[in-house]
Amino acid sequence: MLEKLEAIKKKWKEIEQKMNEPSAMANMKLFIKLNKDYKDLQPIVEGYDKLSLIVNNIESAKDVLNNEKDEEFRSLAKEELSVLIPQREELEEKLRLMLIPKDPTDSKNSIVEIRAGTGGDEASIFAGDLYRMYVKFAESKGWKVEYLDSTDGTVGGFKEVIFNIIGEDVYGQMKYESGVHRVQRVPVTEAQGRVHTSAASVVVLPEADEFDVVLNPADIRRDTFCSSGPGGQSVNTTYSAIRLTHIPTGIVATCQDEKSQIKNYNKALSVLRTRLFELEHQKYLNEIASKRKTMVSTGDRSAKIRTYNYPQGRVTDHRIGLTLYNLQSIVDGNIQELIDQLQLAENTERLKAEIEAA
């Protein structure tokens, strides 16, 4: 593993050198890629430097044990080894996980689509609850949330809501939320106090960059209409909302968040680009599913991934069999523990697959 880490450090230094060359600075696309690669490798290089120091200290302590006759020095060396060896093993395990090839889309922003499923009005209310949960989670991470489009539920919540989350490594965290979410509780519309089961589907897409998908303007039909969602006094009086249709595929994207037609157009274009990019990304997810028997992040939108049981105050993630009894905290946006456990399960699976393939 040390040889592999040494090669990565050499590559990291080469990238650093290329970033300082005038040709890279003159080519913004190249510079952005180099900067991303540099940042991606930096934690591995830092871990390698730390591991090298620990390995050298272990060798020095062993040398004392083999050659030193003074019992006091030998005792100190033994004590040092009892601390250093577990540190080395822990760091090696972390580095093994870091060396697993990452999904290249993990660093991207995400477009999230939540749709009410079975359960009528209660499903729409639940879709609204999920929307607020993700907004609060994004705020806790320092991410920015941009509302794009929605259709309100009859008695609250949303039949559908689409929004963008912008920040560092958003898709790498949010991708685990794709799937069917189920809620078990007494709906506000229930007069007899019976517990109902409702559902909402969540789709998390990696936002496509301009370089990922090239769109021909001739392939896009543009329609304008009056906004009906959040936006202030001018919502229903100006034709600022945009609907874009990609003629070859029939894919549609709308945005009515901004008062400015140009801003809505740019946001809708981003959604359209992302949905086209997702067609290719789905092939990648299907390939993962065929290689590993995983339910963690296969992109299977029909899979029931999580249940929120209000009478018992519990949340169960069915992919890894994890149950937590802090439902209110979770719906208030504290979903990091769930995501951490899902990441750990997937990384362990990936590491196992790497070892078996070696």
Q: Is the pTM of this model over 0.75?
A: no
Q: Is the domain of 175 the same as that of 306?
A: yes
Q: Which of these three, 99, 122, 151, is where a domain ends?
A: 99
Average pLDDT over residues 158-180: 94
Q: Is the domain of 192 the same as that of 319?
A: yes
Q: Is the domain of 38 the same as that of 118?
A: no
Q: Is the domain of 144 the same as that of 199?
A: yes
DSSP secondary structure, 73-128, as one string: HHHHHHHHHHHHHHHHHHHHHHHHHHHSPPPTTTTS-EEEEEEE-SSTHHHHHHHH
Query: Could you give the angle at which helices 336-357 and 71-99 cross, rounded to 10 degrees?
Result: 90
Q: Is the domain of 91 the same as that of 139?
A: no
Q: Is the domain of 149 the same as that of 275?
A: no
CA pair distance 290, 297, nearest whole angstrom = 12
Per residue in 336-351, pLDDT (tens digit) is: 999 999 988 888 777 7
H or E segment to which residue 201 belongs: strand 196-206
CA pair distance 305, 180, nearest whole angstrom = 6
Q: Is the domain of 82 the same as that of 118?
A: no
Domain count, the chain: 3
Per residue in 92-131, pLDDT (tens digit) is: 988 887 887 777 788 889 999 999 998 889 999 999 999 9
Q: Is the domain of 116 the same as that of 198?
A: yes
Question: Mean pLDDT score of the chain, rounded to an integer?
Answer: 86
Q: Is the domain of 197 the same as that of 308?
A: yes
Its domain, for residue 8, covers 2-99
Q: Per the domain annotation, does 105 fall within a domain?
A: no
Q: Residues 9, 48: contact at Cβ < 8 Å?
A: yes
Q: Per the domain annotation, does 178 fall within a domain?
A: yes
Query: 3-class DSSP state for residue 59?
Result: helix
Q: Is the domain of 304 the same as that of 162?
A: yes
